[in-house]
């Protein structure tokens, strides 16, 4: 995968940590949700125009990807 990337933002609460990562090598943005209660890790691609929205509402984007 070429490395984790640079963490641009992080927030957490109630066992869930959300990070916005940027990989310089391919200019890719990814939002990673780590639920320490269940062990689930969710990785969602983001674009420059929606990265903060994905960061603040990752589960909405998880549902839209499954449809």
Q: Which two tokens stand for residue 51?
A: 């990265």
Give the alpha-carbon dihedral of 51, 10, 32, 15, to 10 degrees. -140
Q: What is the pLDDT of residue 63?
A: 72
Residue 18 φ then ψ, to 5°: -115, 130
Q: What is the pLDDT of residue 67?
A: 41
Q: Which two tokens stand for residue 53?
A: 């929205």
Q: Is 20 exposed, middle or buried (0-12, 13-18, 19+ CB in 10 A)?
A: buried
Residues of the chain with pLDDT under 70: 1-3, 64-67
> What pTM was computed for the model?
0.86
């Amino acid at each position: 995968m070429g490395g984790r990337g640079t963490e641009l933002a992080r927030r957490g609460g109630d066992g869930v940590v959300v990070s916005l990562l940027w990989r310089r090598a391919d200019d890719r943005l990814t939002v990673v949700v780590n639920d320490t209660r269940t062990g689930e890790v969710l990785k969602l691609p983001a674009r420059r125009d929606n990265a903060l929205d994905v960061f603040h509402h990752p589960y909405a984007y998880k549902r839209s990807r499954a449809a």
